[in-house]
Amino acid sequence: MDHHLERVYETVVARNPVEPEFHQAVHEVIESLGKVITSRPEYGDYAVLERLVEPERQIMFRVPWVDDKGQVRVNRGFRVEFNSALGPYKGGLRFHPSVNLGIIKFLGFEQVFKNALTGQQIGGGKGGSDFNPHGKSDGEVMRFCQSFMTELYRHIGPNTDVPAGDIGVGGREIGYLFGQYKRITNRFDAGVLTGKSLGWGGSLARPEATGYGTVRFAQSMLENKGESLEGKSVLVSGSGNVAIYAIERAQSLGAKVVSISDSSGAVYDPDGIDLELLKDIKEVRRGRVSDYVSRRRSADFRSGKKVWAIEEGEVALPCATQNEITSHDARKLANNGVQLVAEGANMPSTPEAIDIYNTAGIMYAPGKAANAGGVATSALEMQQNSARQQWTFEKTADKLDEIMINIHDTCLQAAEEMGEPGDYVLGANVASFRLVADAMVEQGIC
């Protein structure tokens, strides 16, 4: 990393203390940009990088609500509107006890580059709360969402900032949030939130999009090497929306998915994951992966363990959360013969893990490229809302595939231009940065 980039990074660390995930995300991007910054002096003249690492707006607010026992509870809400050079801020809302400002900033920063790669003219942002919807009644979740939106509504809009779901925020939460927005503003702005139910503005293929897109990206990586997913064993972490639909798409392409997980532990099923059983447990009963084992004789539950120690697997799709693959886990993947890692979650691999992938010759696709299908389909939902249309599943899924193939090819081309063929991290960072930086230069100092 050259001196200019080092100074930018040191400033980020000094101005944003105790935010390690944000520091990690910034470092991972800017260490790729040396040649780009050197070749384009206007980026330095316009302080593009210095402006890019500073969010345009950071909003933090109190969220009071009343639980079913009549007790007043207080959580903290966030919305970080990071960069709008390419379009309105776009990014999910995460409801989870781990949420803090640093987590939201890391996610928002990643979102800027991910959204740029989609070519959908959307900027980057992220939001959420340390509220935990798990174990709460529908009434409690509704009252929390109404309180959260009572503040958030003034900062969002179809042409300003368009939130969506993320961990802890699904169709139920989006419905409650939209209802409160409509109630306060007296407007049915369908495009103000994405991830809506189909009956009032949602898009077919949106629930499937992140998982489907991740697998499509992995398939493109293999096709570039003259291979495919057919016949390969796949390790998937997580058991939420992204994991479920990554499993569905991988199985449709002839792969055998042998694992799932949640915070309680990992499941290994050598016969292949029973997708319908998993959907029943997670989407209908809101259960745990241990429930899967109680109903599936071939499966083995490993309490407190990760899926990465499972010895069967040629492809790894981390679909749970950030930094879930450490250097220790990455060594196990390498030793067990994993050929490819494509990230369905946001930044699930630590920097040390990525170094091991590179040393071991494992093909690696970062989340900003591999999991961009979710936000890409959210942008397709916005298009449908603007036209007051609803496309067929097939039309939306075909557009998603086209976008993911374009992202893959764009990353490969940029890496080739930088003299590092096959480096998807470098390619994704360089290609997305150029798009955002050029727009920032053209729009002046703002």
Q: What is the pLDDT of residues 378-425, one digit of tens each?
A: 999 999 999 999 999 999 999 999 999 999 999 999 999 999 999 999
Catalytic annotation, residues: 126
Tell which residue, 235, 215, 239, 218, has the closest CA to residue 227.
218
Range of the domain at 237: 209-370
Residues 74, 177 within the same domain: yes
pLDDT at 1: 79
Q: What is the CA radius of gyration of the chain?
A: 21
Residues 251, 183 within the same domain: no
Residue 55 CA, chain-centre distance (Å), reads 18
- The three state secondary structure string of 32-97 is CCHHHHHHCHHHHHCCHHHHHCCCCEEEEEEEEEECCCCCEEEEEEEEEEEECCCCCEEEEEEECC
Annotated binding site for NAD(+): 210, 241
Reported as a single tens digit per residue, the pLDDT across 121-151 is 999 999 999 999 999 999 999 999 999 999 9
pTM: 0.94
Residues 275, 147 within the same domain: no
Tell which residue, 364, 110, 371, 327, has the closest CA to residue 238.
371
Can you name the residues that pair with 233 across neighbouring β-strands? 256
pLDDT band at 286 (very low <50, low <70, confident <90, very high): confident
Residues 70, 161 within the same domain: yes
Q: Are 33 and 418 in contact (CB under 8 A)?
A: no
**Distance between CA atoms of 338 and 375, rounded to whole angstroms?**
28
Q: Are 126 and 94 in contact (CB under 8 A)?
A: yes
CATH number of the structural domain spanning residue 70:
3.40.50.10860
Annotated binding site for substrate: 90, 111, 114, 165, 378
> Looking at the domain assignment, is residue 6 inside a domain?
no
Reported as a single tens digit per residue, the pLDDT across 57-106 is 999 999 999 999 999 999 999 999 999 999 999 999 999 999 999 999 99
Please count the structural domains in the chain.
Answer: 2
Reported as a single tens digit per residue, the pLDDT across 323-370 is 999 999 999 999 999 999 999 999 999 999 999 999 999 999 999 999
User: Please, is 230 exposed, middle or buried when counting C-beta atoms within 10 Å of its C-beta (0-12, 13-18, 19+)?
Assistant: exposed
Annotated binding site: 90, 111, 114, 165, 210, 241, 378
User: Please, is 372 exposed, middle or buried when counting C-beta atoms within 10 Å of its C-beta (0-12, 13-18, 19+)?
Assistant: buried
> Looking at the domain assignment, is residue 445 inside a domain?
no
Neighbours of 147 (CB within 10 A): 23
Per DSSP, 120 falls in state S
